[in-house]
């Protein structure tokens, strides 16, 4: 499944703190205002992979929403994050294992959680329809592979969001939109570089340099996002290789 910026995969709250740092902060002082805000953003960023896992397991959309809400509520209320350690390695693995444990031990209680009842931990309504549509791209995968594919889509979308903000601040949002087809592909062939250069009113050689810069920055943004989800910098390259392999699947 290839993540396409501009869809639900581009969602997720802004998050500028290293994700493993949030786990550490939550374990130490989950009642502080900063920890609560960071945890809320953490949950908002990573509901799509967990929701996708539950849907692929066979749960209805409503039940999958309820279970996702119940899991994050459990994660916060029971301070489950305090049991995580950097030895766990990857947040991707930790969250999936935690969800599986939750389902095995809290299933009856989670089933009683009704959507709209009590305080919702994450807001899913805005991107829910797109999430359901995106699941069609993962029909050939089992529940774990679906989770991994959606996790990768989340990482890619967050990297793209940061890149978009960077270009927008530099007044180059139009340039980014014009170069997007050369970077991420699409259902149709991209226009020629000469056509795009003409639309941007720049020489073709300048366009090629801009495209080289964009590709480099995109790789850097992906690396930064992946770095936030591993506990040891030595694991970044392995996780990046895994990400690229899934994107090409």
Cα(246)–Cα(204) distance, integer angstroms: 33
Return the structure tokens found at 32: 């502080």
In this structure, of 91-95, 122-126, 132-136, the range with the lowest mean pLDDT score is 122-126
* Residue 72 domain-assigned (yes or no): yes
Per-residue model confidence as pLDDT tens digits over 208-248: 999 999 999 999 999 998 988 887 788 899 999 999 999 88
For residues 8-22, average pLDDT: 45
* Residue 78 domain-assigned (yes or no): yes
* Residue 176 domain-assigned (yes or no): yes
H or E segment to which residue 39 belongs: helix 33-56
pLDDT of residue 88: 59
pLDDT of residue 179: 93
pLDDT of residue 27: 57
- Domain encompassing residue 138: 8-247
Which among 10, 9, 52, 247 has a CA at the least distance from the CA of 146? 52
In this structure, of 23-27, 73-77, 98-102, 203-207, the range with the lowest mean pLDDT score is 23-27
The answer to whether residue 25 scores a pLDDT higher than 80 is no
* Residue 81 domain-assigned (yes or no): yes
Cα(178)–Cα(234) distance, integer angstroms: 35
Task: Give the up-direction half-sphere exposure of residue 173: CA atoms within 13 A in the CB hemisphere.
Answer: 7
For residues 128-140, average pLDDT: 83
The answer to whether residue 203 scores a pLDDT higher than 80 is yes
Cα(99)–Cα(80) distance, integer angstroms: 11
Per-residue model confidence as pLDDT tens digits over 41-74: 777 788 999 999 999 999 999 889 989 988 888 7
* Residue 174 domain-assigned (yes or no): yes
The answer to whether residue 181 scores a pLDDT higher than 60 is yes
How many structural domains comprise the chain? 1
Per-residue model confidence as pLDDT tens digits over 77-121: 666 665 655 555 688 888 898 899 888 887 666 555 544 445 566
Q: What share of the chain has pLDDT > 70, as a percent?
A: 73
* Residue 209 domain-assigned (yes or no): yes
Q: What share of the chain has pLDDT > 90, as a percent?
A: 37
Cβ burial of 171 (10 Å; 0-12, 13-18, 19+) is exposed
* Residue 27 domain-assigned (yes or no): yes
Q: Which residues pair with 230 in a beta bridge?
A: 90
Q: Which residues of 97-110 are buried (b: 16+ CB within 10 A; e: fewer)?
A: ebbeebbeebeeeb
Confidence band of 15 (pLDDT split at 50, 70, 90)? very low
The answer to whether residue 207 scores a pLDDT higher than 90 is yes
* Residue 214 domain-assigned (yes or no): yes
Return the structure tokens found at 117: 């009842």
């Amino acid at each position: 499944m290839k993540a396409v910026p501009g869809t639900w995969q581009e969602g997720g709250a802004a998050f500028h703190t290293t994700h493993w740092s949030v786990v550490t902060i939550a374990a130490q002082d989950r009642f502080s205002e900063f920890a609560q805000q960071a945890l809320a953003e953490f949950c908002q960023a990573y509901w799509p992979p967990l929701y996708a896992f539950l849907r692929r397991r066979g749960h209805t959309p409503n039940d999958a929403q309820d279970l996702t809400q119940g899991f994050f509520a459990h994660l916060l209320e029971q301070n489950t994050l305090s049991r995580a350690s950097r030895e766990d390695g990857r947040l991707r693995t930790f969250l999936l294992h935690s969800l599986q444990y939750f389902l095995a031990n809290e299933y009856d209680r989670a089933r009683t959680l009704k959507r709209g009842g009590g305080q919702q931990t994450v807001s899913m309504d805005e991107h829910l329809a797109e999430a359901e549509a995106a699941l069609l791209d993962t029909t050939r995968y089992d529940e774990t592979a679906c989770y991994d594919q959606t996790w990768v889509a989340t990482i890619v979308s967050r990297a793209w969001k940061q890149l978009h903000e960077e270009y927008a601040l530099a007044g180059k949002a139009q340039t980014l939109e014009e170069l997007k087809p050369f970077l991420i592909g699409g259902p149709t062939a991209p226009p020629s570089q000469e056509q795009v250069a003409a639309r941007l009113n720049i020489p073709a050689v300048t366009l090629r340099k801009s495209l080289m810069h964009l590709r480099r920055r995109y790789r850097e943004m992906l690396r930064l996002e992946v770095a936030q989800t591993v506990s040891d910098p030595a694991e970044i390259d392995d996780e990046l290789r895994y990400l690229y392999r899934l994107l090409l699947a």
